[in-house]
């Protein structure tokens, strides 16, 4: 039985709207033979034991999360499907083996450090760009989810994911990007003032609207957003240097899969407020070239939603199922899309989960249980 990789579906001409799903898909595309796995845009995180996508199914086993999937593939294949392992021919020279191991250890340390850095710094930036920013979310992100989901999940899951993103990025203090939060905060800060009749006309100021206040907040926030963007992008550009990939010129590693996932979602979405993409294009052009080359290397080019759902009754665009990708062995392959089955049980589970999450005590115990259930994954970043 072949493996099944379940992900959030395509958006922004990428095969997934979620960075962890993109990372896992990139890894399987480069490491696992084409006839060993299929790809489903199930958009159902209740399938995963960690209640998150990506989720890998192997018979009766389910593995949730990018790092856990990388570890599982290593164990299942005895290292044959590992992007970060040293190939046997490299170890043929016994005299050079010790030097090779020293280089491998240093590379593993760099990979581990930068993997943690990308997830810690990249996730809040994407949260701010795609979810917290009211205009970006309303105009682009929410409609993208609606294209992937059936009723009633299209009304339930996008707000839930936005609430999670706002909570995850709240510590940055940039909630002014959300028009609702910004107006509430501004009202709470507005002191009580005398009535208009008690103020001389010469001292009256034009009344500010919520939109004008939010515009001011966006302008003030832009300086902080640019600083956060630079802190994330500059180390990656320095690591890349003049190489094709982050760690070598030869082939992508798991670090490239992770970096591509976050950088592509920063660069490709066409947003009303594209501050993150503008930062990349204006100050980090080599990262833009890196991402544009990798989307061809990994997926053969842009991906449309019709490729994930080929059985749609009506398709506004021409279906192109012939986009190819080349794995690390030089084999031309197709992304192995498979039409996902609609699950009433999954829909019911998501509805119930959303309702229960509105109860604070349930959310605390659920997050604690998931933390205990999810094992540490040293080999995925080593």
pLDDT tier at 201 (50, 70, 90 boundaries)? low
Query: What span, in angstroms and rounded, lies between the C-alpha atoms of 271 and 223?
Result: 18
What digits encode the pLDDT tens for the residues 72-131? Answer: 999 999 999 999 865 444 444 544 555 556 566 777 888 889 999 999 999 999 999 999
User: Is there a contact between 10 and 305 (Cβ–Cβ < 8 Å)?
Assistant: yes
Q: pLDDT, tens digit, for every residue of 262-292?
A: 999 999 999 999 999 999 999 999 999 999 9
Residue 183: name the closest of 159, 214, 206 by CA.
214
Q: For residues 157 and 152, give the distance between their C-alpha atoms in angstroms, rounded to a whole number.
A: 9
Regarding predicted confidence, which is higher, 90 or 42?
Answer: 42
DSSP H helices, 35-83, are 66-77
**pLDDT for res 349:** 52
pLDDT of residue 7: 97
For residue 152, say if its preceding peptide bond is cis, omega within 30 degrees of 0: yes
Q: Residue 185 in contact with residue 175, Cβ under 8 Å?
A: yes
Are 291 and 267 spatial neighbours (Cβ–Cβ below 8 Å)? yes
Residue 311 gets which letter from DSSP?
Answer: T
Q: Where are the alpha helices (DSSP H) in 32-96?
A: 66-77
Which two structure tokens, joined as six digits, stand for 159? 């707000």
> pLDDT, tens digit, for every residue of 325-345?
444 444 444 789 998 876 544
Task: Tell me the whole-structure pTM to 2 decimals.
Answer: 0.78
Model pLDDT, residue 174: 75
Q: What SS3 state is found at 43? A: coil
* Backbone torsion region of residue 353, taken as left when φ is above 0, otherwise alpha when ψ lies between -120 and 50, otherwise beta: alpha
Lowest-confidence region among 26-30, 45-49, 255-259, 322-326: 322-326
Judged by DSSP in three states, 219 sits in helix
């Amino acid at each position: 039985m072949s493996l099944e990789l379940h992900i959030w579906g395509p958006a922004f001409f990428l095969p997934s709207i979620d960075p962890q799903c993109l990372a896992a898909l990139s890894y399987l595309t480069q490491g696992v033979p084409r006839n060993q796995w299929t790809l489903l845009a199930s958009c159902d995180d209740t399938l995963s034991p960690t209640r998150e996508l990506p989720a890998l199914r192997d018979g009766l086993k389910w593995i949730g999360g990018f790092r856990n999937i990388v570890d599982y593939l290593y164990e299942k294949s005895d290292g044959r499907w590992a992007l970060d392992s040293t190939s046997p021919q490299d170890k043929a020279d016994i005299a050079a083996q010790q030097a090779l191991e020293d280089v491998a250890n240093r590379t593993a340390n760099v990979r581990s450090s930068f993997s943690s850095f990308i997830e810690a710094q990249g996730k809040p930036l994407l949260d701010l760009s795609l979810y917290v920013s009211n205009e970006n979310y309303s105009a682009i992100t929410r409609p993208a989810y609606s294209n992937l989901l059936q009723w009633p999940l299209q009304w339930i899951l996008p707000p839930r994911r936005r609430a999670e993103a706002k909570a995850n990025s709240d510590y940055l203090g940039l909630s002014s990007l959300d028009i609702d939060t910004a107006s509430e905060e501004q009202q709470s800060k507005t002191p009580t003032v005398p009535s208009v009749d008690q103020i001389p006309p010469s001292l009256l100021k034009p009344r500010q609207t919520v939109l004008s206040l939010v515009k001011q907040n966006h302008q003030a926030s832009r300086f902080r957003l640019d600083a956060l963007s630079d802190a994330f992008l500059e180390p990656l550009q320095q690591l890349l240097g003049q190489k094709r990939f982050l760690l070598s010129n030869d082939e992508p590693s798991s670090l490239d899969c992770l970096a591509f996932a976050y950088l592509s979602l920063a660069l490709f979405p066409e947003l009303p407020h594209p501050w993150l993409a503008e930062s990349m294009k204006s100050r980090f052009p080599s990262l833009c070239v890196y991402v544009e080359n990798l989307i061809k290397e990994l997926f053969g080019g842009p991906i449309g939603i019709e490729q994930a759902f080929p059985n749609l009754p009506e398709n506004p665009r021409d279906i192109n199922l012939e986009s190819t990708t080349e794995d690390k062995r030089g084999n031309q392959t197709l992304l192995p899309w498979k039409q996902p089955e609609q699950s009433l049980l999954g829909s019911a589970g998501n509805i119930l989960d959303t309702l229960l999450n509105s109860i604070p005590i349930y959310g605390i115990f659920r997050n604690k249980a998931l933390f205990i259930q999810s094992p540490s994954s040293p080999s995925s970043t080593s």
